Amino acid sequence: MKRKLITKKDAVIIAVITVVSAALLLAGKTFAVRGERAVISVDGKVYKEISLSSVSKKTQFSLDNGVVITAENGKIYFSQSDCRDKICVKTGEISKTGEAAVCAPNKTVIEIKGADRADSIITY
């Protein structure tokens, strides 16, 4: 007598767990809190903090390491970089607490923080 590896009951349980996990993941992303400020660090040191809620028009600034960062409408992103692979530029806009964009070759990090000065944590 052959024994089945997965029974119908097991398949139903796996499907339910998959659907519930996907729903929780999407809910976490949908209800994530919009960040209050962006902290830009270069080589591990804080370079600049920007209040995202106070940025109403497009603001760009260049760093000495060849990176150009743009902030507009409560979002911030790497708009240009002289690095080879441009992963930081491809990351796109970030605006929710806990999100980050990194340009590893230029040692530049943009982190979105909450309203208070303590580190904000989001769990997905």
Is the domain defined by 37-113 classed in CATH 2.60.320.10?
yes
Interacting residues of 50 by C-beta distance below 8 A, sequence separation 6+: 37, 38, 40, 71, 76
118 has a pLDDT exceeding 80: no
- Residues 40-52 have a mean pLDDT of 91
Q: What does the chain look like in DSSP terms, one character per residue?
A: ----SS-HHHHHHHHHHHHHHHHHHHHHHHTPPBPSEEEEEETTEEEEEEEGGG--S-EEEE-TTS-EEEEETTEEEEEE--SSS-HHHHH--B-BTT-EEEETTTTEEEEEE-SSSSPP----
Residue 112 has pLDDT above 80, yes or no: yes
pLDDT digits (tens, 9 = 90+) for 2-44: 777 878 888 888 999 999 888 887 776 665 566 789 999 999 9
Q: 119: pLDDT confidence band, cut at 50, 70 and 90?
A: very low
Report strand pairing: 75-80 vs 100-103.
unpaired
Mean pLDDT of 97-109: 92
Mean of the per-residue pLDDT values of the chain: 84
Domain positions in the chain are 37-113
Q: Quick check: pTM over 0.85?
A: no
Is the pLDDT confidence value at 120 over 50?
no
